[in-house]
Copies of this chain bind each other. A is one copy, B any other.
Amino acid sequence: MSRYWSEVTKSLTPYVPGEQPKLPNLVKLNTNENPYGPSPKAIEAIRRETGDNLRLYPDPEGSQLKSAVAAYFGEIATQQVFVGNGSDEVLAHAFLALLKHDRPILFPDITYSFYPVYCGLYGIEYRTVPLTEQFTIRPDDYLQPNGGIIFPNPNAPTGCALPFAEIERIVAGSPDSVVVVDEAYVDFGAPSAVALVNRYPNLLVVHTLSKSRSLAGLRVGFAVGDAKLIEALERVKNSFNSYPLDRLALAGAVAALEDREWFERTRQAVIRSRGELTRKLRELGFEVLPSGANFIFTRHPGQDAGELAKSLRKRSIIVRHFRQPRIGQFLRITVGTDEQCEILVAALREILNA
């Protein structure tokens, strides 16, 4: 604390990301990174852009990337696309531009823990809505007066996906406020709400290239929605940082979005591995929530989750454990390569037998 800090700075409880240990030979299953590398075409595009042109500012609009996003989805205009430095930045701007109103916003009690942090940063009131006993979102719970709604689909850290009709029920149920669907993990097995944006002017869908495009190290995210919502995001962005995406990120992101074949192959591999991992963990007595993401959320009736995480760490396997109400006995485990999943399962078998 210091007298030089602004009042809001004193009041903040910053977000704590999953640790990024610098040890070699880790089986790192704690931050939902993709086990496969990015598209070779993205790597190639970045290499081509790496040269004297770095002396020049990037395109402040990110026009080519917006076009690539629009082309990827089809029936979306570039004016319906916003791009930013990772989906966290896109979400931050969405909170300030579209979710800051007189009424409190709504989000699940168990969800991405950055949401209440943004509320603290921008002075936004919120009310959490409990997930069901099965850790799913019940749309009817969101049919109440609100200043906005945000939820991930699939939800994090549960991995549970909401069916298309239920997303629409939430969006249609609050026509006077903005509904943000955070689709960071959608490509691993959930229906995308992008198909709804041309029908609902209050819907904003946020994506990242960190997960299904294997580009966590490049920091690119985007939002798709009605042009008026995008304009609000542009206004905030242009009052904050004119050039949030560097030349290399823009070039790599465009190529990654265009390489559909690599995208399909790697995401299907993750989906297959997730099925195998789920089956094997259930054989060991674990409860595994149905996952539409590149991670699973699991607990064992006879084991303390914190102890399990510690035992895994001793074996150089890192998973994520959230010490918070309702989910303190769960572990969130990223789906790695089949080899990494084997190492994990073998370690858990050993721990359970000890």
Which A residues are closer than 8 A to B by beta carbons? 2-9, 12-17, 20, 22, 28, 31, 33-38, 42-43, 46-47, 50-60, 85-86, 88-89, 92, 96-101, 117-118, 120-121, 176-178, 201-202, 210, 214-219, 228-229, 231-232, 234-249, 252
Contacts and interface: CB of A to CB of B under 8 A. Distances in A.
Given A9-B98, A219-B243, 13 more contacts: A6-B97, A6-B98, A6-B99, A6-B100, A13-B239, A14-B235, A28-B56, A33-B57, A47-B50, A54-B215, A56-B217, A85-B244, A88-B240
Contacts of A244: 85-86, 89, 219
A98 B5 contact: yes
A4 B22 CA distance: 43
Residue among A57, A177, A210, A229 having the largest count of chain B Cβ atoms under 10 Å? A57
Contacts of A252: 54
A88 B246 contact: no
Given A55-B216, A56-B216, A5 B97 contact: yes
B12 A236 contact: yes
22 contacts: A2-B231, A3-B176, A4-B229, A5-B235, A6-B97, A7-B100, A8-B96, A12-B235, A14-B237, A38-B52, A47-B47, A53-B217, A54-B216, A55-B214, A55-B216, A58-B216, A88-B242, A89-B244, A92-B241, A217-B246, A246-B249, A248-B248
B57 A36 contact: no
Contacts of A51: 37, 43
Q: Taking the full assembly, how many copies of this chain does it contain?
A: 2
A228 B121 contact: no
A239 B20 contact: no
A14 B238 CA distance: 5
Contacts of A231: 2
A187 to B, nearest CB: 15
A155 to B, nearest CB: 20
Contact of A88 (B7, B101, B229, B243): B243
Contacts of A243: 17, 86, 88, 216, 219
A89 B88 CA distance: 14
A42 to B, nearest CB: 8
Nearest to A44: B50
B97 A57 contact: no
A37 B54 contact: yes
A288 to B, nearest CB: 24
A228 B59 contact: no
A17 B219 CA distance: 22
A3 B174 CA distance: 13
A64 B69 CA distance: 33
Contacts of A13: 239
Nearest to A248: B248
A142 to B, nearest CB: 17
